[in-house]
Structures are given as structure tokens and as C-alpha cells.
């Protein structure tokens, strides 16, 4: 391979390769990928924006590479299997489950590019040096026909594009960003995989929901927060701090919306997208239900941190109650105080929305009293729902001491 000498840029002190210094691309030697050599690593890092159809050829489907029974479809697949297994995870468990939703997403990006969203560049890799050449005034990286690149990062997106073109062939003309690292040892690729996957910190569900404007459930939750709760919904932290005046997290409010749409089964979709045929109607119906509940709760009702309403399992159960169309008048008799005590001196909500905590609460007179340790929605949404909607249940009677003394 011709060795290129990068010229230092006097202005910025970085290496630059001039296109006119490159050898002319020779047809038949490989697939030319148009782009630019990175100034920071001109002989080993290449930046490009290429059609999906070209990506599919230079980077075979990792799902086929992983599965030997498909190796007869492309002579390159068997040779790529060992390399891929050295630098990537197999498509199993969560990674495999994510492929379907990612495929839907890339189709949306290709067919409706004006909608909010972004795709990261796919980072491709080949251990041997690839030839940098020119085609006219354009620099190109030549990928030999017998070579297939593998993804050191963005592999699920790569597999998703392969799957997407089988469903919508027209998107093969859509351009996507890639980087190609070449001429670097396998140890470099392993370290790159580690650094790209370990050093990143995934945002907590509350922050992720606050930032996502594509999911209709998120949008409805944000609109409800703005309309009804006067900036008292936590949008950053995983839990509500006792040092704030916030009532609950955005994740908890989203779960209210999901359970209004799907009942208690919505708890299984606490943070996952949930398709809705008519999001506008759902938002209207959810708003009406919140207004109804607001009128039905005594005192400060929803707007008090002391109310059981603000705990996530009860918020989800109230959403599910709206889904089932319960009589809101039955809510007025509920003992809504979180640490309310029954005639026996025990916490009314113990075993329904949580359990008795180890620490004691101090009432307005300075006396110590038991306090509720709130449980999670998955554990307690069903008991909370029974306390609201099933009149023949133990929970329904327990939370209405004025009626069932």
C-alpha cells in the first residue's frame, strides 16, 4: 500500500492529507467510499456519509455473521465471524429484543427525517490498512470486494438498517454517517468497545422521559405536568427529594398516563414506548380524568406531599381506575393521608401502598407515630387498585375506615 505523508496544518498544527496528493482510484480494486480522512488520524480514521445500500454491501448483516446456517449467502460471512465475536456482544437477550424497535426507528428516520431525532454514526472497523485514493476531486477509502467491515459500535443500528431494507427497500438511498477505523490491531478494537460502552452513563428514566418528545405518553405526561401541577413534577432525579416541593417524578406521571390507557397491565410498559392510534383523544380523556379526581379528593388532595396520591403505585392505580371507569364519588371516602392510622393504631396503607418503615414520623404535636415506607408500582399497583375499585376486597374496606369501622 502507498504510504502517505500527512502535511501539518500551519494554522492549527494538525495533520492534513491533500486530495491531489492521493493516487487515482483504480476501478475493480474495491468499493470506493467517499469521505475525508480525519485530521487527527489521517491514516487510520475515515469519516463518511454513505447510502444505506452501500453500507449493506461493505458491512454485512451482523445477524447473518452470527448465524452459521446463513454463511452460504455471502462468502465473507464465515471469515468475519471470529473477528466480530472478538469485539462485539452476541445478539441475545436485551440486545436482540432491541433490534425490532430500532428497526422501526431507522425506518422512521429515513422516511420522515423532519421529525425530531438523531442517529449516531456507525463505527466500522477493519484490522488491515485500507487504501486511501482519489476519485476526481473526492477522497475515497477503498474497501476490497472480498472484505466486509464489522461494527465496533452501533452494531444494532447496522443490523436494523439491514432489517429495514427488507421491509422498505426504497430507503437504501438514504444517507447515514459512518466512521471507518482501519490498520489498527484487534486490541485497539477491544479497547474501543470497552471505552464506548463502559464510560457512557445511561440517563435515569425520569430524565429520559423528560427529554423524549417522540413517545406520545411522554408528551401527554409533560402536558399534564404543565397544566395541573405548577412545576411540581421532578424532571431530573430518579426520586423526589424531601428538600424540594415536588410531588412526584415525571416517570411516575407517565405511568399514570400509561395505566389510564392500558389498565394495571401498563406497569409492564413503565418506560417503554406504547403505541396509541389517537394520542389526541387519550390526552383529552386523561385530562378530564385528572380534573375529576382533583374535585373528588378532600383537602389538598393531589397537591399535598402527605397524600397517598403522590406515591407511584397509587398514581398508577388511579390511572388504571380511570381506564376501568370507576365511580369517582367512591374516592371521597378514602383515607388519603399517607400515614393515616386505623382504629387499631396501625398504618392504613401498610401492605397496600408499601409497608411500615423503620423510622417514625413526627406529627404536628411533636409526637412520634409510625410512617409508611412507600413501595414500587410493580409490587403494589394491584393492591392500590383494589383499594379504589373492588368494593368486596379487603383493601377497599381497609382504606375507608369511616365507612367500615
Q: pLDDT for 249-307, tens place per residue?
A: 999 999 999 999 999 998 987 767 677 778 899 999 999 999 998 888 776 656 777 88
Does residue 316 surpass a pLDDT of 80?
yes
Q: Which domain holds residue 360?
A: 205-398
Say yes or no: 223 and 79 in one domain: no
Does residue 168 surpass a pLDDT of 70?
yes
Residue 151 lies in a domain: yes
Say yes or no: 223 and 167 in one domain: no
d(CA 86, CA 96): 18
Helix (H/G/I), strand (E/B), else coil: 134: strand
Task: Kindly report the number of other CB atoms within 10 A of residue 127's CB atom.
Answer: 17
Say yes or no: 211 and 164 in one domain: no
Which of 164, 198, 232 is the endpoint of a domain? 198
Say yes or no: 34 and 105 in one domain: yes
Using pLDDT thresholds of 50, 70 and 90, give the confidence band for residue 15.
Answer: low
Say yes or no: 120 and 233 in one domain: no
Residue 403 lies in a domain: no
pLDDT value at position 364?
Answer: 62
pLDDT value at position 343?
Answer: 87
Selected residue with higher pLDDT from 134 and 13: 134
Q: What is the rounded average pLDDT of the residues 136-152?
A: 96
Say yes or no: 259 and 373 in one domain: yes
Does residue 180 surpass a pLDDT of 50?
yes
Residue 405 lies in a domain: no
Residue 404 lies in a domain: no
Using pLDDT thresholds of 50, 70 and 90, give the confidence band for residue 241.
Answer: confident
Say yes or no: 161 and 307 in one domain: no
Residue 181 lies in a domain: yes
pLDDT value at position 9?
Answer: 45
Cell reading at 179: 466512521
pLDDT value at position 202?
Answer: 80
Using pLDDT thresholds of 50, 70 and 90, give the confidence band for residue 11.
Answer: very low
Residue 228 makes CB contacts below 8 A (sequence gap 6+) with: 287, 290, 294, 302
Does residue 360 surpass a pLDDT of 70?
no
Say yes or no: 172 and 310 in one domain: no
Using pLDDT thresholds of 50, 70 and 90, give the confidence band for residue 12.
Answer: very low
Using pLDDT thresholds of 50, 70 and 90, give the confidence band for residue 215.
Answer: confident
Structural contact between residues 123 and 192, judged by C-beta atoms closer than 8 angstroms: yes
Does residue 371 surpass a pLDDT of 60?
yes
Q: What is the rounded average pLDDT of the residues 180-193?
A: 97
pLDDT value at position 31?
Answer: 97
Residues in the chain: 405
Which of 198, 228, 252 is the endpoint of a domain? 198
Say yes or no: 188 and 228 in one domain: no
pLDDT tens digits, 107-137: 999 999 988 889 999 999 999 999 999 999 9
Residue 2 lies in a domain: no
pLDDT value at position 230?
Answer: 83
Say yes or no: 273 and 180 in one domain: no
Which of 131, 165, 198 is the endpoint of a domain? 198
Say yes or no: 138 and 283 in one domain: no
Structural contact between residues 206 and 225, judged by C-beta atoms closer than 8 angstroms: no
Residue 247 lies in a domain: yes
Say yes or no: 363 and 336 in one domain: yes
Overall domain count for the chain: 2
Residue 131 makes CB contacts below 8 A (sequence gap 6+) with: 1, 2, 23, 29, 30, 141, 142
Pairing of strands 368-374, 175-182: unpaired
d(CA 315, CA 221): 12
Q: What is the pTM assigned to this prediction?
A: 0.74
Amino acid at each position: 500500500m502507498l504510504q502517505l505523508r500527512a502535511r501539518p496544518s500551519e494554522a492549527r498544527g494538525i495533520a492534513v492529507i491533500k486530495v491531489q496528493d492521493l493516487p487515482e482510484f483504480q476501478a475493480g480494486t474495491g468499493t470506493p467510499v467517499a469521505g475525508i480522512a480525519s485530521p487527527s488520524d489521517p491514516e487510520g480514521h475515515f469519516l463518511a456519509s454513505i447510502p444505506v445500500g452501500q453500507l449493506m454491501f461493505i458491512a454485512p448483516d451482523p445477524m447473518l455473521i452470527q448465524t452459521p446456517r446463513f454463511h452460504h449467502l455471502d462468502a465473507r460471512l464465515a471469515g468475519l465471524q471470529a473477528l466480530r465475536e472478538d469485539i462485539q456482544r452476541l445478539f441475545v437477550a436485551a440486545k436482540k429484543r432491541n433490534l425490532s424497535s430500532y428497526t422501526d426507528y431507522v425506518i422512521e428516520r429515513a422516511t420522515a427525517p423532519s421529525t425530531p431525532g438523531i442517529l449516531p454514526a456507525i463505527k466500522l472497523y477493519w484490522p488491515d490498512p485500507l487504501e486511501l485514493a482519489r476519485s476526481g476531486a473526492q477522497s475515497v477509502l477503498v474497501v476490497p470486494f472480498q472484505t466486509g467491515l464489522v461494527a465496533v459500535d452501533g452494531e444494532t443500528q447496522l443490523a436494523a438498517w439491514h432489517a429495514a431494507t427488507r421491509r422498505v427497500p426504497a430507503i437504501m438511498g438514504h444517507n447515514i454517517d459512518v466512521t471507518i477505523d482501519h490498520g489498527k490491531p484487534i486490541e485497539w478494537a477491544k479497547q474501543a468497545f470497552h471505552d464506548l460502552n463502559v464510560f457512557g452513563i445511561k440517563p435515569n428514566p425520569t430524565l429520559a422521559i423528560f427529554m423524549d418528545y417522540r413517545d406520545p405518553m411522554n408528551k401527554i405526561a409533560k402536558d399534564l405536568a404543565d397544566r395541573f401541577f405548577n412545576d411540581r413534577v421532578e424532571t431530573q432525579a430518579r426520586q423526589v427529594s424531601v428538600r424540594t416541593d415536588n410531588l412526584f417524578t415525571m416517570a411516575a406521571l407517565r405511568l399514570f398516563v400509561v395505566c389510564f390507557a392500558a389498565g394495571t397491565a401498563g406497569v409492564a410498559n413503565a418506560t417503554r414506548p406504547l403505541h396509541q392510534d389517537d394520542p389526541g383523544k387519550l390526552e383529552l380523556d386523561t385530562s378530564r380524568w385528572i380534573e375529576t379526581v382533583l374535585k373528588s379528593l378532600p383537602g389538598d388532595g393531589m397537591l399535598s406531599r402527605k397524600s397517598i396520591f403522590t406515591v407511584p403505585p397509587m398514581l398508577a392505580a388511579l390511572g388504571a381506575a380511570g381506564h376501568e371507569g370507576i365511580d369517582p364519588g367512591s374516592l371521597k371516602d378514602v383515607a388519603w393521608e399517607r400515614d393515616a392510622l386505623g382504629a387499631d393504631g396501625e398504618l392504613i396503607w401498610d401492605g397496600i401502598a408499601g409497608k411500615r418503615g423503620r423510622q417514625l414520623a413526627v406529627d404536628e404535636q411533636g409526637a412520634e407515630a409510625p410512617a409508611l415506607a412507600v413501595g414500587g408500582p410493580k409490587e403494589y399497583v394491584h393492591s392500590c387498585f383494589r383499594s379504589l375499585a373492588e368494593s368486596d376486597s379487603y383493601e377497599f374496606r381497609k382504606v375507608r375506615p369511616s365507612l367500615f369501622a
